Amino acid sequence: MCGISGIINKNNDCVGTKAIQDMNDLIIHRGPDSEGYFFGDSFVFGHRRLSILDLSPAGHQPMNFQEKYVITYNGEVYNYIELKDELIQHGYTFKSETDTEVILASYDLWGEECVQRFNGMWAFAIYNKIEDLIFCSRDRFGVKPFFYSEVNNKFVFGSEIKQLLPFHDQNFANLNIVLDFLVMGLSEHTEQTFFEDIYSLQGGNNLIYDLKTHTHKVKKYYNLKIDPSLTKLNEEEAVIKYQQALKKSVKLRLRSDVKVGTCLSGGLDSSSVASIAAKINAVETSEPFNAITASSLDPKNDETRYAEQVVKHSKLNWSVVQPTHNDFLDKIDEIVKIQDEPVGGPSIVMQYVVFKKAKEVGCKVMLDGQGGDETLLGYERYYPSYLLSLPLKEMVSGFFKASNNSKLSKTSLLAYCVYFLFANLRKKRLLKRNSFIKSEFFSRVNWRFLTKLAKSYRDILELQKLEIFETQMPHLLRYEDRNSMAHSIEARLPFIDYQLVEAALSLPNNYKINDGWTKFLLRKAIDDYLPKSITWRKNKIGFEAPADIWLKDHKDYIQSAIDSSSILQEITNQKIVSDHKSIWLMFFIAKWEHAYNVKLRQ
């Protein structure tokens, strides 16, 4: 896990040393162990190394291979051992124990198709000397970031947006994205970022830059593959299939030459990962597996008591951190700077303190539970889509079961069905909730996307694809990457193993939601690993901060930040905002604007 940088001069001039060093210095947190550079005729690669596999100098980057390729790479290809064995049979020899060298040999043998064989997370750029091009790629779901921009006759790329900003004369807000975020809560749903003229290479895409013509093209290489044979499995077979795939995913992500731990909220997903990892760890060492929990000051959303049950059951070595009243004020500016773009709420602080604690206890790799909800229909807002897929008689009984086996009342569940299934009603509610925004700016909101969202609720598979690639999971992955790497921690996500994702989406929907139980398949698969009080919890909380307490305690500070925002002054009419979600969104827009001196283009 590392940080990457790159500059290409489109006029074919050599790139100076200072420019790439400055880019690299901005991401020293992503790779404090070493740095390196490779200078081509009209381009340069930079790299910051966080040593996870093969801690020796043999893993130094940028890495050369056979005098044909040079790579700067961020990520982990977990199946590198199996790929290496296959490549050795093709006659390749290796000088290191790194996955980096395996990527280069794979590219030499299979070309662009090599990424189809990788199981992991990555963002890399490979200079191909033979074809005079740079081959860039981002993993299937976009776990690792890759940003790029064309500015002042340069093509620049990096792991974080902050690396690209110095190449621009002024940081301008992408007003369309700001409005989509403020009105609909959307971010990461397009290749555009919150900054004008800075783009994100989407997950599952390659970017090929031709150094001869100084043109580039983006090519999608991954589409989810549905296995029709899995739809025919009975419940027991489906549970075994999913359990085996999840255990394999966790085991792959325990491959490391440094200490590994896990984030533990007390929810089903993180508890499942922790319990499986603990069992695997117990076979290999007598040392207990490490887990870290963030405790909320608000009893209404504090899951520490559930985490404690998992700790006792799985015999984990447990650390607990609780952000205080002052921690919010002390850390928020740093966290906003780390994230590069506005975030959706204060829970980001909880995640930040977990990774801070991980660094303190020496866990350089941390597992986490992102992706379980999106792949197994874990959110209550998925109920309308599931109910709509049922015959009328089953739909009625399913409605009552969903209410009985979740925290939703029947009235709330009915409201969910109306809200998420009908775009026009949802739009009217959003317009009312956001009446503080000046009416002329509503035309710039991407309402077509709202229609796309509502339409997806009529097809569960399409809804899940949208959640995985465009709406829910991408921004969670961004939070995870920035918060972990800010503390030089590699976060690994077992639920987003592509083989596990494809298995989950291929299995029948009534194994994902069954008798009203969300994530039924996971509950059954993990039932012998966890206490029943965890496996069959109804009160899904999520990774939440004590938002109400912080909002009350820091009301003046939050309001002052909002009032000082030039962007918000331009697009809002300063009516009193009572909706707490909107207040937090506005606060983080204001803090982002201040952190990066962002302006609106006039």
Active site residues: 2
Tell me how far apart the alpha carbons of residues 204 and 60 are, in angstroms, rounded to a whole number.
Answer: 26
**Is the sign of the CA dihedral 355, 32, 473, 316 positive or negative?**
negative
* Cβ atoms of 259 and 362 closer than 8 Å: yes
Number of Cβ atoms within 10 Å of the Cβ of 580: 12
**Is the sign of the CA dihedral 111, 116, 120, 125 positive or negative?**
positive
Maximal C-alpha separation, the chain: 71
* Cβ atoms of 346 and 328 closer than 8 Å: yes
Tell me how far apart the alpha carbons of residues 598 and 585 are, in angstroms, rounded to a whole number.
Answer: 16
Instruction: From 10, 126, 26, 116, select the one nearest 74 (Cα to Cα).
Output: 126
Tell me how far apart the alpha carbons of residues 324 and 295 are, in angstroms, rounded to a whole number.
Answer: 10
Distances (CA, A) of 512 to 398, 416, 503: 13, 19, 12
Burial class (CB in 10 A: 0-12, 13-18, 19+), 569: middle
End-to-end CA distance of the chain: give it in Å, rounded. Answer: 40
Number of Cβ atoms within 10 Å of the Cβ of 300: 10
- Which tokens in the block code for residue 227? 């296995």
Using the CB atoms, write b or e for 487-500: b if 16+ within 10 Å: bbbbbbbbbbbbeb
Instruction: From 146, 159, 123, 156, select the one nearest 31 (Cα to Cα).
Output: 159
**DSSP single-letter state for residue 477:** H
User: DSSP 3-state assignment of 196?
Assistant: coil
Burial class (CB in 10 A: 0-12, 13-18, 19+), 162: middle
Tell me how far apart the alpha carbons of residues 419 and 410 are, in angstroms, rounded to a whole number.
Answer: 14
Residue 63 neighbours by CB under 8 Å, 6+ apart? 70, 71, 73, 98, 100, 101, 104
